[in-house]
Structure 1
Amino acid sequence: MGAVELKFSGSFERSSYLKEFQCPYCDKFITDQDISKNNYRLWVSDYANEVTKSESSVYGLDFWLKSVEHLNCLPD
């Protein structure tokens, strides 16, 4: 089971969940500052992601978030 980088330049509702992830390179958790400055990269599962459609023809995408890492790790 692999992961692929999600090229994402927008925002989403529950960005606070990103703070539960620890960067695999610097071992620091993602912070509010990282989120506000878009200093992170999302890795999602390469399978079993789902597309949903509401009654009003609005489509949603569900991704299985595998990892979050810093774009630029901050020095100690």
Structure 2
Amino acid sequence: MDERKTKASTWFRTLRDNICKSFEDLEDALTGSEFADQEPGRFEVTPWDRPQENGVDSGGGEMSVMRGRVFEKVG
């Protein structure tokens, strides 16, 4: 079971990274807009943990949010 969890975690992390890269590529490609002179947005990754009850690990993960010039907020 642990091997499948690790494989799934890796797959979802790679998917997240690919999606974030695509949004950042859109930020980099912006031209001809009133916002084109601003710095392109980048994702900020913030770890989080679900509150634990009775000392049991309740999970957690990472949250990725970008404030950009193409998309005001995405994540």
TM over 0.5, shorter chain: no
TM-score (norm 2): 0.25
The structure showing larger relative contact order (alpha-carbon pairs under 8 Å, at least 6 residues apart) is 1
Bigger proportion of residues as strand: 1
TM-score (norm 1): 0.25
Bigger proportion of residues as helix: 2
Q: Which has more radius of gyration?
A: 2
